[in-house]
Amino acid sequence: MITLLATGGTISMQRSAEAGGNVPALDGRGLLDLVGDLAAEVRIEDWERLPAVHRGPGAVCALRDRVAAILDGGAAGVVVTHGTDTLEEIAYLFARTLPRDAPVVLTGAMRTSSDAGWDGPRNLRDAVRVAAAPLAAGRPAMVVFAGKVFDGHDVAKLHTSDPDAFGAPHASPLGTVDDDGVWFGGPPVRRAVLRGGQLTARVALIPLLLGDDGALLDLARPHFDGVVLEAFGRGNAPPGVLPAVGRWLSERKPVVLASRCPFGEVGGEYAFEGGGGQLLSLGVLPAGPRTPALARLELALALSAGMPYGGGLG
Catalytic residues: 10
- List all residues 6 or more positions away from 250 whose beta carbon is below 8 Å from its beta carbon: none
- For 240, other C-beta atoms within 10 Å of its C-beta total 16
Cβ count within 10 A of residue 130: 26
Kindly compute the dihedral angle of the four CA atoms of residues 286, 288, 109, 146, in this order, to the nearest 10 degrees.
150
DSSP states of 30-69: HHHHHH---SS-EEEEEEEEE-GGG--HHHHHHHHHHHHH
Q: How many CB atoms lie within 10 A of CB 134?
A: 7
- For residues 236 and 109, give the distance between their C-alpha atoms in angstroms, rounded to a whole number: 36
Shortest CA distance to 113 belongs to which of 51, 33, 45?
33
25 with 50: CB under 8 angstroms? no
Distance of CA 210 to the CA centre of its chain: 28
H/E run at residue 226: strand 226-231
Contact 170, 289 (CB under 8 A): yes
